[in-house]
């Protein structure tokens, strides 16, 4: 759900840059520390960023024929945590603006907040809560990715409603934006959840060492998941 270049008026695009900035700084600090400890992290983070970019530039299968793209950041958040994902999100959004004309330069701050920060944070929290509660891993990943998508779209609606409250005030404007975007975003969130859960399943089946190395799943959980599939 990218906000186009030129759409956010004057105080708002600067405000969203300021809001996103601390997350980016923390993320950069974390990446710097990680890279100093383990140099091989950098290419792997880059790969994750490129994956998010390519995934989000593919068209998802959808019912209503609308042009819908997955965000892919849910997976990044589950793998690396929200602050690092914010930096990946920033890089991906810059490339999307310059290669694909999705989003823009002035709206970068707002888009980073909705897609790189709010969505991943939701995904991360749900994933953590789910694993702590001992829920089914795939179900947790599905819910995390789907709700991350929904969070992104709710935040975008809030951003637009704050900038254009109109005659009805913030709540009315928010309802209007949320209602019109819901048409494409709710089916999209469900499909994205399913797709990301499938991705997770393939990783568990084919290359589980990625997950154990990032301390996401223990050997025993993976063993259990693989047995359940077999």
b/e code 150-178 from CB counts within 10 Å (16+ = b): bbbbbbbbbbbbbbeeeeeeeeebbebbb
- Least CB distance from residue 144 to another protein, whole Å? 15
The reply on whether position 207 binds another protein by CB under 8 A is yes
The reply on whether position 17 binds another protein by CB under 8 A is no
- Least CB distance from residue 220 to another protein, whole Å? 22
The reply on whether position 99 binds another protein by CB under 8 A is yes
The reply on whether position 189 binds another protein by CB under 8 A is no
Residue 83 near residue 41, CB atoms below 8 Å: no
Query: How many binding residues for another protein (CB under 8 A)?
Result: 78
The one segment of 94-102, 114-122, 130-138, 216-224 that binds another protein by CB under 8 A = 94-102
Residues in Cβ contact with 60 at an 8 Å cutoff, skipping those fewer than 6 apart: 68, 69, 70, 188, 191, 192, 195
Q: Which listed residue (40, 132, 133, 230) binds another protein by CB under 8 A? A: 40
The reply on whether position 222 binds another protein by CB under 8 A is no
């Amino acid at each position: 759900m990218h906000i186009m270049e030129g759409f956010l008026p004057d105080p708002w695009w600067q405000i969203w840059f300021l809001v996103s900035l601390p997350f980016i700084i923390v993320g950069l600090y974390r990446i710097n520390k990680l890279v100093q400890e383990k140099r091989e992290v950098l290419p792997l983070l880059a790969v994750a960023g490129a994956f998010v970019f390519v995934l989000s530039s593919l068209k998802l299968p959808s019912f209503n024929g609308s042009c819908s793209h997955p965000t892919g950041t849910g997976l990044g958040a589950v793998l690396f945590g929200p602050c690092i994902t914010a930096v990946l999100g920033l890089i991906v959004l810059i490339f999307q603006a310059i290669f694909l004309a999705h989003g823009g330069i002035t709206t970068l701050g707002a888009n980073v907040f909705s897609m790189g920060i709010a969505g991943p944070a939701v995904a991360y929290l749900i994933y953590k809560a789910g694993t702590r509660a001992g829920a089914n891993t795939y179900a947790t990943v599905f819910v995390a990715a789907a709700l991350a998508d929904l969070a992104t779209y709710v935040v975008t609606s809030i951003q637009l409603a704050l900038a254009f409250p109109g005659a009805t005030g913030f709540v009315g404007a928010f309802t209007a934006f949320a209602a019109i975007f819901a048409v494409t975003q709710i089916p999209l969130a469900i499909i994205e959840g399913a797709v990301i859960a499938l991705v997770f399943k393939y990783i568990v089946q084919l290359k589980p060492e990625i997950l154990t190395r990032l301390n996401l799943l223990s050997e025993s959980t993976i063993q259990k998941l693989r047995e359940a599939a077999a």
